Amino acid sequence: MAKNCNFIDKLREVGLRPTKQRVKMCEVLFNREKTFHFTINDLVKMISEQMNQKISLATVYNTVHAFEKKGYLKEISIDSHKSYFDTNTSIHHHFFDEDTHELIDCDESDIDPVNIKKNITGKKINSVEVLIKVASDNQTQK
Amino acid sequence: MAKNCNFIDKLREVGLRPTKQRVKMCEVLFNREKTFHFTINDLVKMISEQMNQKISLATVYNTVHAFEKKGYLKEISIDSHKSYFDTNTSIHHHFFDEDTHELIDCDESDIDPVNIKKNITGKKINSVEVLIKVASDNQTQK
DNA sequence: AATATACATTATAATAGTTCTAAACTATTG
DNA sequence: CAATAGTTTAGAACTATTATAATGTATATT
Ligand SMILES: [Mn+2]
Ligand SMILES: [Mn+2]
Ligand SMILES: [Zn+2]
Ligand SMILES: [Zn+2]
């Protein structure tokens, strides 16, 4: 449980009060080997299970958005019918599995830098991200 | 008004009845020089203005989805808070202006082919699309 | 440690975007 | 000119998200 102290400090650093809901949320989100993608519903389920009690949906929304504003989380728009968040807040590319609706991060080394030859006058480029949609290869070839 | 006949034929070809709502929708969507991006609300407004009468929201939704299924329209996921559609149904890249929330198509020649070095086993790549987020360049440099 | 304050959580209500429903309407077929 | 199948419509229902306001908790002040 030494990890919790880290989260309390981390929360304090960015001016968020370390309530038990937020610390638990940090555990669920950040106390893991690899970054991951989730929906609000996923998250509510995970937190409720780990706390053995309900957490208010509004709190999850508010806190996710607070984390987003502080740069702890990033919103990913892949499917207009669903909102995905990402604990990997860097600019990065994704595979999207159209069968399972699963998002998979693309390593820097998996894709060559994208070369953009045009620019919009008066505008600067903030990010360049690639989305690769994949689906199962059931070609039933004769 | 010779164009309308084209739309009637076009609709028949794909098995949609050429009702006056659908023909009007075709005019608004396809009777123009360049392809464009729109939201359902944009479209309802445009159609209502051009018909000088209300069109049911349900009809616009239903017909947009019918067109989408038939491959006349493509849904674009840029902003999970809003659904954009595109009359350019090809696989293509976009600039997204974060100031105005405007989508701009990227010409094939504006960007070098994206080279993907990894693949997901058992999955084939269906599309590779790049999203370039831009914003005004007010660097107020001294 | 007790109190005051600011901030957070909660249940619930409100909103907005989208889809469903069933009745009225229209295009097509015979 | 029916009969039929498909379409439009208004409005209800549904879902995701945000707002509200009362209650609770963390922190600062004494
Ligand atoms: Mn958001
Ligand atoms: Mn859709
Ligand atoms: Zn990611
Ligand atoms: Zn486009």
Question: Three-state SS string across B25-53, please?
Answer: HHHHHHCCCCCCEECHHHHHHHHHHHHCC
Q: Are B111 and A116 a contacting pair, CB within 8 Å? A: yes
Please name the residue of chain B whose CA is at the shortest distance from the CA of residue A111.
Answer: B116
Footprint of strand D on the protein (CB under 7 A): A 12, 17-20, 39-41, 57-58, 61, 65, 82-83; B 16-17, 19, 21-22, 54-59, 62-63, 80-81
**Average pLDDT of the residues in B96-105:** 90
The whole-angstrom distance between B30's CA and the closest CA on chain A is 23
pLDDT tens digits, one per residue of B9-36: 999 999 999 999 999 999 999 999 999 9
Alpha carbons A84 and A39: distance in angstroms, whole number: 5
Confidence of residue B44 (pLDDT cuts 50, 70, 90): very high
The whole-angstrom distance between B63's CA and the closest CA on chain A is 18
Q: Is residue B137 scored above 90 in pLDDT?
A: no
Residues 6+ apart with CB under 8 A from B126: A98, A133, A134, A135
Alpha carbons B77 and B60: distance in angstroms, whole number: 19
Minimal CA–CA distance to A4: which of A18, A76, A33, B101?
A18
Supply the pTM of this predicted model: 0.88
Among positive and negative, which fits the CA dihedral A11, A13, A14, A15?
Answer: positive
How confident is chain A (142 residues) per 10-residue block, as mean pLDDT? Answer: 75 94 96 94 93 92 96 91 93 93 90 89 94 85 47
The pLDDT value given to residue A131: 94
**Average pLDDT of the residues in B59-68:** 96
The owner of tokens 């039933």 is A140
The pLDDT value given to residue A17: 96
Q: Are A54 and A48 a contacting pair, CB within 8 Å? A: yes
Residue A63: count of CB within 10 angstroms of its CB: 24
Q: Are A76 and A94 a contacting pair, CB within 8 Å? A: yes
Q: Among B109, B116, B135, select the one facing A123 at the smallest CB separation.
A: B135
The pLDDT value given to residue B142: 43
The pLDDT value given to residue A140: 57
Spell out the domains of chain A, with CATH numbers in brackets: 2-76 (1.10.10.10), 91-134 (no CATH)
